[in-house]
Amino acid sequence: MIVIGIHDGKDAGVALIEDGVIVYAANEERFSRNKLHFGFPFLSLQNLMSHTGIDPRDIDRVCVGFQSMVETEDYPIYSDINDVTMLQRIFAGTSRLLGPVTATRSFVQASRHMLSMVSKNKQSLQKSVREFGIEADIEYVDHHRAHAASAYYTSGYDNALVVTADGGGDGLAGSIYTGTGSDLNVVVEWPRVHSPGNFWFLITYICGFNPIKHGGKITGLAAYEPCEETHKIISEYYGYDPERMCFLNKKHLLFRDAYQTLSKALEGYSIEQIAYGAQKVLEDTMCGIIEEAVRKTGKSKVALAGGTFANVRINQKILELDGVETIFVHPHMGDGGVAVGACLDVLGRYWGLEPLETTNVYCGNETAEQEILDALYAAPVTFTELDDPAEAISDCLMKREVIGLFNGRMEYGPRALGHRTILAEPTDPTMMHWLNERLDRTEFMPFAPIILEEDAPLYFKNFEPGRLASRFMTVCFDVTDFGKRMAPGIVHKDGTARPQIINAEENEYVYNALKAYKAKSGLSLGINTSFNKHEEPIVCRPREAVQELLRGGVDVLFIENFKVERRA
């Protein structure tokens, strides 16, 4: 059974799944070079067709991770609080006036019906799909069901609690499912008014950052200045209902109303203090919901998806809950993952797909050697072809050089996981400042470590329950005293780090380089950050990697077996 997934909203993307195995998955931003690209994924679908060689006639179903897409490319959430659409004004006013009524099942169903009437994406999506010669039936999957399927069917858990949470989609802001074998059954759905994602967008906007792109900065800032006063203030507006197992927007305030009210309540506090209070509230609410869901369902393995679970500190808190055995976060937890999720849901419902454990997400395009050579010959660089780059990479780490890595198939999802990565040595605690400045970034959390899997327990506490999630850099751990002493450059102010573990089977290229580095330094790890400058997607093509070398983002570049340096 061959199905393809399409997502044509924020962070558009495509997927091809054959008999339950992800053959290809990528997001449009990598090809268009437009961060979080919105719209039909023409370029990534073209690459899917050329990379896989699939005959359009062999595709059995097209799956879409939204039933009713009402957003547009310029759709404001909190990016401009004074520029809201008529639909948002109606929603905000209704929520303010009707209050708890907006959380009832009948109101949610009515709002979803209205969304389906105003949605305009289906005709244009069908037209675009047909232009590729694909005549298979198109199935539109509920947005949060697609998120849930993305987490459950890639977790390898055959008996799990599945939780989704985000800004909203198809009238919902979250859900709780149970997964058993091939069955994925809904337990609770959260109305759009009670959105943890919209709460986080609002806090990010109040702190002066772009809410769509920079929510992660709030998580980093939260460790800098603890402030129980902001926690108490924000808790007056947001919380959770343990009986309904749902996030709560207590005052039913949205958009401009929410901004004006909460920003006034937080007036006089620093952004660090606000971030602390917001992070604590989100941890309290999500952990409270999941703790209650574990108790009621009796399921101790937890699979997570939706943009809220990009928050690695929340994922750590969930992992540490009593009753939680282990967690898995879908590697592309945001909307960019619903193309995969929609496919998996259709395969589960109609063809009895059961969960498969995800071992890696190197599912994107692969670059031919001729394209690499064309990029190198066209640039003012010198390059050498090596039999094995591991020793050369380890030598560069020993010299404290900043290294660009470009090898194998591109990673699926928002994290750089060793194939389109910037690598550096892990002992310099000032690196967060000077390397971010070099990359034109503003961040408040240290770079993530990439580490040999067998040595991870030496550096991270409570590692075993989070082993699966740590393959994809989706959870934090407290750093051991040994780790703090050996690699201070990875440790955040709160004593945590968010590692990616690697082994020889899944990433031989980086594994061998770190083994060689360990033989020379005694260290099993390096610093890993995404190979891009600020506000740009991770590099996709060799020429983009070379451009970063020439710009000075990295000192040296390794593309497959080629070592590349700027010409003197």
User: Which contiguous run of DSSP H or E holds residue 515?
Assistant: helix 508-521
Q: What is the pLDDT of residue 557?
A: 98
Q: In the 8-state DSSP scheme, what is residue 488?
A: G
Q: What is the pLDDT of residue 195?
A: 95
The secondary structure of 160-224 as a DSSP string is EEEEEEEEEETTEEEEEEEEETTEEEEEEEEETTS-HHHHHHHHHHHTTS-TTT-HHHHHHHTTT
Q: What is the pLDDT of residue 191?
A: 92
Highest CATH level, class, for 157-328: alpha beta
Q: What is the pLDDT of residue 78?
A: 46
CATH 2.40.110.20 is held by the domain 369-566:
no
Q: Give the residues of the chain that fall short of pLDDT 70.
A: 70-120
Q: What is the pLDDT of residue 80?
A: 55
Report if pTM > 0.85: yes
Alpha carbon distance 160, 162 (integer Å): 6
In which region does residue 473 sit, left (phi positive, over 0), alpha (psi from -120 to 50) or beta (all else)?
left
CATH 2.30.30 is held by the domain 2-146:
no
| CB of 233 closer than 8 Å to CB of 246 | no
Nearest to 449, CA basis, from 422, 468, 430, 469? 422
Nearest to 279, CA basis, from 225, 213, 224, 218? 218
Q: Give residue limits of the domains in the chain.
A: 2-146, 157-328, 369-566
Q: What is the pLDDT of residue 106?
A: 65
Nearest to 108, CA basis, from 192, 185, 230, 42? 192
| CB of 86 closer than 8 Å to CB of 92 | no
Q: What is the pLDDT of residue 549?
A: 98
Same fold: 157-328 with 369-566 = no
Q: What is the pLDDT of residue 354?
A: 97
pLDDT tens-digit profile of 63-106? Answer: 999 987 766 655 545 455 655 555 555 555 565 555 566 666 66
